[in-house]
Amino acid sequence: MTENEWIFHLSKYLSTESPIVASYNEDCAVITLETGEFLLLTTDAMVERVHFDLAYTEYYALGYKLASINLSDIASMGGLPLYALLTIGCPTPPDSIWIDPLMEGLVSQLHKYGVKLVGGDTVRADQLILNLCVIGKTERPLLRSGAKPGDLIYVSRPLGQSSAFLKFLKKENFDQIPDELKRSHFYPEPEVILGRAIKDFATSAIDISDGLLLDLFRLCVASCVSAHIFEEAIPVGNFANLEDALSGGEDYALLFTLNEKDTNKLEEISGKLQRTFFPIGKIYEGNGEIILIGREGERRLLSPSGYDHFTFQPLL
Amino acid sequence: MTENEWIFHLSKYLSTESPIVASYNEDCAVITLETGEFLLLTTDAMVERVHFDLAYTEYYALGYKLASINLSDIASMGGLPLYALLTIGCPTPPDSIWIDPLMEGLVSQLHKYGVKLVGGDTVRADQLILNLCVIGKTERPLLRSGAKPGDLIYVSRPLGQSSAFLKFLKKENFDQIPDELKRSHFYPEPEVILGRAIKDFATSAIDISDGLLLDLFRLCVASCVSAHIFEEAIPVGNFANLEDALSGGEDYALLFTLNEKDTNKLEEISGKLQRTFFPIGKIYEGNGEIILIGREGERRLLSPSGYDHFTFQPLL
């Protein structure tokens, strides 16, 4: 099975009845609580030689990124992350030399967003494997499925740098790679604050973990709409190119939609957070078509491509 | 670090402040909710060639056992399990041939206890690795730390059969191993119903995952007490011996303590559930000493030994 086939296949094992609001095709499971709030549950794993390479990855960065990718799922639902559980699989018993920087990277990033590590499991495994489970809550879950024709599409920051880092790595010495790319790849920042700020008026959101095109495609399919995006509007990070920005993955930027009448609310947030957000296109009626409008006005129907967790080649 | 050193070392990274009631040295993290109830969080992983061997383990049993070992942690806290998240690491993309029996074993065992699978993650890994995270709740968390001098010590069922299975496997053909041992090893049953029934009067509890002695030692250390147990009172499962029962592990029986005045409550539950529970000894003042009183009245101070997840040799 490909990853998409598996996600579809898996759906028959996932519960969907009330009080469960979402269990698949969303970044988190969403469950209605008795208090009227919603519980958010997510889990994401990172595996040595699949997601990271210890030859050039510091343990501190590993822990930091593990926290970030999980918090990013909570962020994309407009959630407040609360608690985390860590599972470590390792070939040799934990040793302070590596476990302390790993834990410090993890815990410092969790604490930055008020998240408490409360438990976990440690097991032997042939390669280092890290799994985090994060529990959060929200008053209003921001789903992938709420985009409506006419909505504007935004991304929260420039894209493609994490993927550009990997391309540089193939042809350059590590030391020659721009620090900015290393930072994007090793220390992605989850959009928790932005997610909280837009949850009451954004119509849909997803975090860009597998590439803008693939994640926009998922959002469009979940919302039963199509999207037009403008090549010149796509924010391409320094040292990255359009392909990195469209299909690179591991950006952990937020991709979200809102009704045109709410742009002033986003402007207000933009002012408060002193950040620029990037309108890249518009939602139309349709069935998941992504149309890229070029600088000369030419239109291309894009097929989503991005990180497939099953076919992706090992980094080594 | 040994497993115990690591658990101690890990404690500095775990949050303990309110509303967190327990984050380490318990089977689950325990968090006070606004409603006055307690949230229970646990995670447990199973790794190919460390915890199971695909040469003789059916995928259905794998899923079943993964559910059971996690539900057992909720059971030992007197909890009602609610939701689960699954992480699968696998060397080849999921294929119906193995993923369907695995998922059916998992989901059928979760559903038996009313637990809903609501999400997860699937990643590539060099060996099959399964991680489950279970969320539950309870009105009163049954901690390891509540045992008091004078309390009676109980185990919920005969011990040692899972471990006896592994010994048989070393010298017998799989087909010649008694079905009863296979059932104990592959299909352990979590004591969710019992945990719920005793939560209001038992003084402490732990599930026996790593062997009676080691788990009793953990309970005694957490409660700042010692224990006397009677050799002839220890329920040894068919085809198992005393060593299996004391140090074998993977029993997932409940080990619990109660005040003598509450034995009638346990008898009532025993009648209702039509089950026998086994009083094996008594709690005394002390600091984690476990004294085994033999059939002739001789006393032995036992050092805890059981499954150490880091030194355990691969099954293959």
* β-sheet with A129-138: strand ranges across: A20-22, A29-32, A38-47, A129-138, A80-90, A116-124
Residues on chain B touching A94 (C-beta within 8 angstroms):
1, 6, 9
CB contact under 8 A, A124 and B35: no
Residues on chain A touching B126 (C-beta within 8 angstroms):
49, 126-127
Of residues B134 and B307, more confidently modeled: B134
B40 has pLDDT over 90: yes
CB contact under 8 A, A89 and B47: yes
Nearest chain A residue to B47, by CA: A125
Nearest CA of chain A to the CA of B32: how many Å?
A: 12
Is the CB of B296 inside 8 Å of chain A's CB atoms? no
Is the CB of A135 inside 8 Å of chain B's CB atoms? yes
Say whether A51 sits in a helix, a strand or coil: coil
Is the CB of A275 inside 8 Å of chain B's CB atoms? no
Tell me the pTM: 0.94
* β-sheet with A152-155: strand ranges across: A204-207, A254-258, A152-155, A278-285, A225-230, A290-293, A299-302
pLDDT less than 50: residues of chain A: 311-316
CB contact under 8 A, B119 and A42: yes
Residues B223-267: pLDDT tens digits?
Answer: 999 999 999 999 999 999 999 999 999 999 999 999 999 999 999
Residues on chain B touching A122 (C-beta within 8 angstroms):
3, 6, 10, 309-310
> pLDDT band at residue B306, thresholds of 50, 70 and 90?
low
Residues on chain B touching A50 (C-beta within 8 angstroms):
123-125
Question: What is B3-138's CATH topology?
Answer: 60s Ribosomal Protein L30; Chain: A; (3.30.1330)
> pLDDT band at residue B220, thresholds of 50, 70 and 90?
very high
Residues on chain B touching A10 (C-beta within 8 angstroms):
103, 120, 122
Nearest chain B residue to A3, by CA: B93
Q: Omega before A19 cis (within 30°)?
A: yes
> pLDDT band at residue B25, thresholds of 50, 70 and 90?
confident
Residues B141-198: pLDDT tens digits?
Answer: 999 999 999 999 999 999 999 999 999 999 989 999 999 999 999 999 999 999 999 9
**CATH code at A144-302:** 3.90.650.10
- Residue A60's alpha-carbon distances to A19, A104, A146, A186, B5, in angstroms, are 38, 6, 37, 9, 21
Of residues B6, B46, B116, nearest to A93 (C-beta): B6
Nearest CA of chain A to the CA of B6: how many Å?
A: 7
Is the CB of A18 inside 8 Å of chain B's CB atoms? no
H or E element at residue B239: none
Q: Domain extents for chain A?
A: 3-138, 144-302
Residue B121: per-residue pLDDT: 94
CB neighbour list of residue A264: distance below 8 Å, 6 or more residues apart: none
- Kindly provide the ipTM of the predicted complex, given to two decimals: 0.93
φ, ψ for residue A103, nearest 5 deg: -65, -35
Residues A155-202: pLDDT tens digits?
Answer: 999 999 999 999 999 998 999 999 999 999 999 999 999 999 999 999
* Pairwise CA distance, residues B153 & B229, whole Å: 8
* Pairwise CA distance, residues A234 & A137, whole Å: 31
Residues on chain B touching A133 (C-beta within 8 angstroms):
41, 43, 85, 133
Tell me the residue length of chain A: 316
Say whether B290 sits in a helix, a strand or coil: strand
| Residue type for position B218 | R
Nearest chain B residue to A84, by CA: B41
φ, ψ for residue A20, nearest 5 deg: -80, 125
Is the CB of B91 inside 8 Å of chain A's CB atoms? no
Nearest chain B residue to A43, by CA: B120
Of residues A29, A94, A310, nearest to B118 (C-beta): A29
* Pairwise CA distance, residues A167 & B195, whole Å: 54
Contact A151, A219 (CB under 8 A): no
